[in-house]
Structure 1
Amino acid sequence: MNNPLEGKGVLVTGASSGIGRATALALSGAGARVAVGARRADRLRALTGDAPGEMLALDLDVTDPESVRDAVAATVARFGTLDVLVNNAGVMLSGPILGADTAEWTRMVETNLLGSMYAVHAALPHLLSTRGAVVQISSTSGRTASAASGVYAATKFGVNAFSEALRQEVTAQGVRVVVIEPGFVATELTSHLTDPTMRAAARDMADSMRTLQAEDVAAAVRYALTQPEHVAVNEILIRPTDQTR
């Protein structure tokens, strides 16, 4: 049986934990050669040891355009190709707008939105030549904003808008753009929260449902990337069955 991912060159950002880690392992298991980027180099080394296939660990800070360009160049140098970019790096620093630490806003915009834009900008020439794919890990917050998550939602709405414009620009040239919008996932993301009330609310929410696992989202990524070339799965919204909104 033909394996669409066999030998493909993939770059996954934010790969040191959670969805990024699970996606890197899933795509490696599907035969891809995977470059994993993050700032926590020790975790990446452990990840490469767990990978079933060839995996390259890269020190990557998506908020730094030069770091992003270097990671793309290193991926192409190692694999000779870049067929898939998975933009997963992100932080969630939710809290009320009144009294917020605006430095946290800057961090979210730079990581979640600008970081994914920088990665697309650096990778796109290669993806056009390989007729590859961009996978954007967004969120249900990219569809519905809620109190105490205004800036996080704004970054994810931005990711969705940027992705649709990108799709319109490159789909006729064979590049597929996939937006994955997970609901509540059991990952480290909620540990980023500095507001004690928000941390408690996140714990309560997790306790109230059967949350998604990172591997569930990775399976959605793999599904989208293994469709025939003429099929573009542009958007996957995936929530826990128990999540009402």
Structure 2
Amino acid sequence: MAATLKRLNAKTAIVTGASSGIGQRSAVALSKAGWNVVISARRAEALEETAKECPSSTLVVPGDVTDEGFVKKLFALTLEKYGKLDLLFNNAGIPGPKGVFDTIPLVEFKQTLDVNVTASFLCAREAFRIFKKQDPQGGRIINNGSIAAHVPRPHTAAYAISKHAISGLTKATALDGRPFGIACTQIDIGNACTSFGGAASSAQGALQPDGRYVPEATFDPEHVASTIVHIASLPNEVSMLEVNIMATAAPYVGRG
């Protein structure tokens, strides 16, 4: 009974894209901070590995967040188990096709928007509905943006466009959520050392606007995870609309 009460009294977070990288590290960090964590991604076995690292109560819900029916199920299962929701970390995403602008296939462009934008909207909408209805009212959404939401890399138009859309999603959510105690943050990450951002630290390096490939400075994604925990710890009446975290030596300021 004591364990059940502790679980219900703890804050609850949903983390998408939690099977690897930033999502995995953030879910584990939130769990170590005492949060109940609901982790979701398409790869069930990888999610189970994430769950093994989470010391607090953890719910594993594999599935595709581009599917509206699955997203509704994900949030319903969260309420069924924990009775409330305090945080959504909209982290799931893909890098999209690489290539000069006029070579990008429409099907791959649409897929990038579907995963990076539509899925984030669907999850944010379900979280918003819960935050608005629950007592006490309110909650927090953190959207994984990118420094590409501000300054794109060459040959990554689909990804950059999708992340610029996340900026709109974040601001619209923050504005419409204001009367209901719903805070929304966009975290823009640059060159965290994950498989997603591997080009920066590879032997070949990342493509620069002048055509060179240059290895770039990276940083440990644990710092992103600790930042997520900090933002999540703030009261809902305090908001961090945009947060940039990157390697100090990353070529962002003055890029291009």
Write out aligned runs for 1:1-245 (5 A): 7-93=10-96, 94-128=98-132, 129=134, 130-190=137-197, 200-202=204-206, 205=214, 207-209=215-217, 211-245=218-252
Q: Give a deviation string over 1:104-146, Cα, whole Å, max 9, x none.
A: 2121100000110011112211122241100101000111234
The CA distance in 2 between the partners of 1:86 and 1:60, in whole Å, is 16
How far is the alpha carbon of 1:147 from its aligned partner?
A: 2.4
Q: Which amino acid aligns with 2:117?
A: L
Relative distance call for 1:240 and 1:65 in structure 2 (3 A) is same
The CA distance in 2 between the partners of 1:179 and 1:153, in whole Å, is 15
SS at match of 1:181: strand
SS at match of 2:102: coil
SS at match of 2:196: helix
Structure 2: gaps spanning 5 or more residues: 1-8, 208-212
The CA distance in 1 between the partners of 2:246 and 2:13, in whole Å, is 26
SS at match of 2:61: strand
How far is the alpha carbon of 1:208 from its aligned partner?
A: 3.1
Larger radius of gyration: 2
How far is the alpha carbon of 1:99 from its aligned partner?
A: 2.1
Q: CA RMSD in A?
A: 2.0
Assess if the C-alpha contact under 8 Å between 1:141 and 1:153 holds in 2. yes
Relative distance call for 1:199 and 1:114 in structure 2 (3 A) is farther
Q: Which amino acid aligns with 1:100?
A: I
Q: Which amino acid aligns with 1:113?
A: V
Assess if the C-alpha contact under 8 Å between 1:84 and 1:127 holds in 2. no
SS at match of 1:66: helix
Provide the residue aligned with 1:3 in structure 2: none
How far is the alpha carbon of 1:24 from its aligned partner?
A: 0.3
Identity %: 27
The CA distance in 2 between the partners of 1:38 and 1:136, in whole Å, is 16
Relative distance call for 1:105 and 1:57 in structure 2 (3 A) is same
Assess if the C-alpha contact under 8 Å between 1:163 and 1:177 holds in 2. yes
The CA distance in 1 between the partners of 2:250 and 2:16, in whole Å, is 27
SS at match of 2:184: strand
Kindly tell me the number of residue pairs found equivalent between the two proteins: 233
Structure 1: gaps spanning 5 or more residues: 1-5
Provide the residue aligned with 2:5 in structure 1: none
Taking structure 1 as the reference length, the TM-score comes to 0.89
Greater RCO structure (CA 8 Å; 6+ sep): 1
